[in-house]
Amino acid sequence: METQPDWKGIIGSLQKWRDTTLQEGSRDNRDPSVTTVAEKYKQDPWAVLASTILSLRTKDEVTLVCSRALLEKAPTPQAILSIPEEELLKLVYPAGFYRTKAENLRKIARILGEQYGGKVPADMEALLALPGVGRKTANLVLIEAFDMDGICVDTHVHRICNRSGWLSSRSPDETEGILRKILPRKYWKGINALLVLYGQNLCRPISPFCSRCVIRTHCRRIGVEKSR
């Protein structure tokens, strides 16, 4: 039987690093945009869902600007349906694939109105049935909006977990499935925010800062050919 990762040591080291990093307050040292939006709108499910959709393949700073602009005009799913198409496109631009996202948001608003009384459902399968919503988005909504247990796996979480040798997987969805089996439940909700910030600052895709890594004793550096 393979030795399980020292999750207590890993999460503890990452949490201490995060606390110090966020206190420094530079532009790059902040939580993911969706977490920031969730805090600003007091865990409002529509705000979290809309901002998460806008965040896909979009930089955090752009997501924040687009999310604030959109939610100011459309604080509810019903409100977005009354916004003219061209105005809606301007609100979500320059988020990546903004036309598709605007269309999906309008479709989602209609579905929420017709099937869920205008409310975002706190259910994984119901969320996955919405246009443009994958497991990453659904998990984030459940975690940030409803304080439910979930594991949000994006490219940072997928990369760091495989690079460190905590697991071996071929896709973010597979990584999520494995983490649900090996990661203690108390760490599920927080691992995304920790590893996203870490991946943006230190454990980068190319030439990571291994010399400054706070979890290097827990990392096998799989696939790392060059580091700093």
DSSP per-residue codes, the chain:
-PPPP-HHHHHHHHHHHHHHHHHH--TTSS--HHHHHHHHTTT-HHHHHHHHHHHTTS-HHHHHHHHHHHHHH-SSHHHHTTS-HHHHHHHHTTSTTHHHHHHHHHHHHHHHHHHSTT---S-HHHHHTSTT--HHHHHHHHHHHH--------HHHHHHHHHHTS---SSHHHHHHHHHHHS-GGGTTTHHHHHHHHHHHTS-SSS--GGG-TTGGG---TT-----
Among candidate residues 44, 154, 181, 186, the one labeled active-site is: 154
Respond yes or no: is residue 173 known to be catalytic: no
Of 70, 43, 40, 38, whose CA–CA distance to 54 is shortest? 70
Choose the catalytic residue: 107, 136, 173, 226: 136
Catalytic residue list contains 149: no
Q: At what angle do helices 191-201 and 135-146 cross, to 10 degrees?
A: 120
Catalytic residues: 136, 154
